[in-house]
Amino acid sequence: MKKIFMLCAVIGILPMIFGCATIMRDNMEPITLNASPANVDIKIIDRNGLTVFEGQTPTTINLKTSDDGYFNPQYYTVYAHKDGYEDYQTRIDYHISGWYWANIIFGGLIGLLIIDPISGDMYYLEQDDALMNMTPIDNQK
């Protein structure tokens, strides 16, 4: 009985020591990019204007969810180019994880205002355009 009580106490204290999102998430997220047609050249730029990836579709890359700062979510702009097609641009945006809000119940102010915002685990990336449909250039004008 004493061991069960200690186990419950440890499980109950863990979220108070660490932020809920930090326990449940990682600040790197795999993003898959596909295009139609295939083999489209892509370039991914972060919120600071730095190129974080250059390559071709299809690909899966790991992107950071935060900008290594306090309450600094990361977002990305994807530029796609293929000869004979119009250039395409989309944004991979961030959202706040539901696990972050669990700090209100379990993690307290330490998780809510310190741990999760510093770790960046409170954010996740939302990829609306898993498939980039390139539009052919109409040369018959």
Give the burial string for 39-56 (b: 16+ CB within 10 Å, else e): ebebebbbeeeeeebeee
Over residues 24-59, the pLDDT tens digits come to 556 678 889 999 999 999 999 999 999 999 999 999
Which residues form the domain of 70? 16-131
pTM: 0.71
7 part of a folded domain:
no
Q: In this structure, is residue 8 part of a structural domain?
A: no
Q: What is the mean pLDDT of residues 121-133?
A: 76
Q: Structurally, how many domains does the chain consist of?
A: 1
Question: Is there a domain that residue 11 lies in?
Answer: no
Please check whether residue 22 lies inside any domain of the structure. yes
CATH code of the domain in which 61 resides: 2.60.40
Residue 48 within a domain: yes
